[in-house]
Structure 1
């Protein structure tokens, strides 16, 4: 590891420097910052999202279901995430791609099974997602706030398309709301990076969310930037009409378009959901259309009653609950080649425990002083024996030779 600083400090640096590149993070470090995945803030078919804490702020850790995730799927998502850095996209901080051996019983025999740990670390976006915002219609539902959200989604999508990425699952649940209710696009789990020459793809795989999927993808499996534009149009209709889910056929007739901005957004949304993808505008064209009718409703927008600041809001309560949790870790620092790590103590090593269990390699390094010569107490044909010290107790560690 050379002179590298500890992982927590590295993540703090990435967190505070918006231009820094995402980094690889160990599973042990992620367990530490999430307090062993204590507070869940979201879930889905992909896995769960847990809250994490750094000295300078909060993070969100997406813990993926390894059994349903191929190596290529994980790699594709990380590649897409590393290509994007924009104020209207949730910021990617790092990833974990560890593989750990666990002893499991299979077909009446015990085997060492390699278990993949696949996790993604992002900035924590404090005001929930657009789905809840539309559904609840409580905090800051004035038109000027909704218009700002529409603008931000368009700008984020335009940037994604400039990076030659199809998002392919744009929907309210995948748009988070930041500290000032600015939208941030998230979840690149089914996204595709394409070359400069590619314009349209055809696939036999079906993915996305019904109601937001373009008709040409359902009918012919065709993928292009215009798929995302169709999804954007449905989101705009959601924000304009207040409907959450199925959109009525004549949705625009029930809207009292009180200003030129709203009228222009209705026109754009209708074009975005055209069944002919060639009739849909690009994200860049939509931004220009909005600017043509740019009329500020009021010079100083009203103070927004953000969910994160409302003690009654679950978003406020979940952060307070996380901060109140104790950190059940070994708070001593381990120095191995100048690498410091925070370590969790497995129950199997605690005094009085009678059941065996899995022990992290880094913890064994710590208690044996990195398997130092002075801690060596014996040798067999295939292993060295070391004395480990943990909480004033002696433990024998048998390190097997890799040539067995």
Structure 2
């Protein structure tokens, strides 16, 4: 490590240790160093690969974007959204790398200078995976309602922060909600996110991106994207936290949700149904969802949050299995 990298590493560790510090620009060399030459892969998606890195003060996650799929504008839009998102329920953004390395390459019997675009993002490392992994891998959590309610509350608070700051996430799904050491939900992956201008309520797109299960009907039908699109995805995630990851028709979901005995779970089911209303204007805002959660917490004694939400597991499993399908019916 040379002197420049030593100073840069010290600066990154300072940002890591200070929650109020702003993200900084980082070199490709430093990120290669702390990830041990990108040797520890911890995640992979259509737009890049995530590696674990180590600092003296803790671990980080480094996302290497696919330079062929992510344009400079998309990369800068993501950084813009990340810089505007600082909340306990959003994965903390530490820094970015936007280097182009020149190197000689053979071409038609001679050598030419070619540029390699490096586009990387550095985040806090979140140790407990994502919500999809939580629901699919740990079957012992099926009846662990207090944790699931904490996740629902955390996702809603993180989304409220984003919407209050005019950030439309556009790709909310269980894979993009990480879990920290205390099982607090942290929203991540802002690759599709956009700022909405003051007074702007929606945007129109011809390129439908995202995961079909979580895409609101108006996006598919009209290409209309708004904060209410995020609300639709939130509703699907709440449903999955209530009854699991199985594919269930929204039209026949009530029978499954009626098997929930915990009062808070039943009220969360009602919130989820409102969030997944096929008509965008009939969905609540995230502030209204938070108000509903506040109301149910005031109505139901806090001791209830520590009880296990009893589910008729056998009947619920039979019901879900009888309604398996390849995609949600809107």
For 1:179 and 1:61, locate their aligned partners in 2 and report how far apart those are by CA, in whole Å: 19
Q: Is 2:271 aligned against 1:268?
A: yes
Larger radius of gyration: 1
TM-fit CA distance, 1:138: 3.4
Unaligned runs of 5+ in 2: 309-330
For 2:273 and 2:226, locate their aligned partners in 1 and report how far apart those are by CA, in whole Å: 19
- More helix by proportion, 1 or 2? 2
Matched-pair contact (CA < 8 Å) for 1:103–1:112: yes
Over 3 Å counting, the alpha-carbon distance change for 1:52 and 1:5 in structure 2 is closer
Q: Is 2:52 aligned against 1:46?
A: no
TM-fit CA distance, 1:110: 2.3
Instruction: Name 1:385's counterpart in structure 2.
Output: none
Over 3 Å counting, the alpha-carbon distance change for 1:59 and 1:246 in structure 2 is farther
For 1:196 and 1:162, locate their aligned partners in 2 and report how far apart those are by CA, in whole Å: 11
TM norm structure 1: 0.71
Give the secondary-structure state (helix, strand or coil) at the position aligned to 1:93. strand
Alignment of 1:376-391 (within 5 A): none
Over 3 Å counting, the alpha-carbon distance change for 1:187 and 1:245 in structure 2 is farther
Over 3 Å counting, the alpha-carbon distance change for 1:229 and 1:235 in structure 2 is same
For 1:94 and 1:173, locate their aligned partners in 2 and report how far apart those are by CA, in whole Å: 22
TM norm structure 2: 0.87
Instruction: Name 2:195's counterpart in structure 1.
Output: 193
Give the secondary-structure state (helix, strand or coil) at the position aligned to 2:219. helix
Over 3 Å counting, the alpha-carbon distance change for 1:149 and 1:265 in structure 2 is same
TM-fit CA distance, 1:107: 4.3
TM-fit CA distance, 1:246: 5.1
Among 246, 250, 253, the alignment partner of 2:252 is 250
Instruction: Name 1:282's counterpart in structure 2.
Output: 285
Over 3 Å counting, the alpha-carbon distance change for 1:177 and 1:244 in structure 2 is farther
Over 3 Å counting, the alpha-carbon distance change for 1:72 and 1:209 in structure 2 is same
For 1:176 and 1:72, locate their aligned partners in 2 and report how far apart those are by CA, in whole Å: 26
What is the aligned length? 301
1:247-274 deviation digits (Å, cap 9, x = unpaired): 5532231232222211111111101111
Give the secondary-structure state (helix, strand or coil) at the position aligned to 1:237. helix
For 2:251 and 2:153, locate their aligned partners in 1 and report how far apart those are by CA, in whole Å: 24
For 1:239 and 1:38, locate their aligned partners in 2 and report how far apart those are by CA, in whole Å: 33
Over 3 Å counting, the alpha-carbon distance change for 1:162 and 1:266 in structure 2 is same
For 1:63 and 1:114, locate their aligned partners in 2 and report how far apart those are by CA, in whole Å: 17
TM-fit CA distance, 1:99: 0.8
Report the RMSD for the aligned CA atoms in angstroms: 2.0
Q: Is 2:184 aligned against 1:182?
A: yes
Matched-pair contact (CA < 8 Å) for 2:196–2:202: no
Q: Which 4+ residue blocks in structure 1 deviate beyond 6 angstroms?
A: 299-302
TM-fit CA distance, 1:103: 1.7
TM-fit CA distance, 1:56: 1.2
Unaligned runs of 5+ in 1: 303-404
Bigger drift between 136-145 and 35-44 goes to 136-145
Instruction: Name 2:95's counterpart in structure 1.
Output: 94
Over 3 Å counting, the alpha-carbon distance change for 1:16 and 1:156 in structure 2 is same
Give the secondary-structure state (helix, strand or coil) at the position aligned to 2:189. coil
Matched-pair contact (CA < 8 Å) for 1:50–1:60: yes
Instruction: Name 1:17's counterpart in structure 2.
Output: 18
For 1:72 and 1:111, locate their aligned partners in 2 and report how far apart those are by CA, in whole Å: 27
Among 172, 175, 182, the alignment partner of 1:173 is 175
Q: Is 2:70 aligned against 1:69?
A: yes
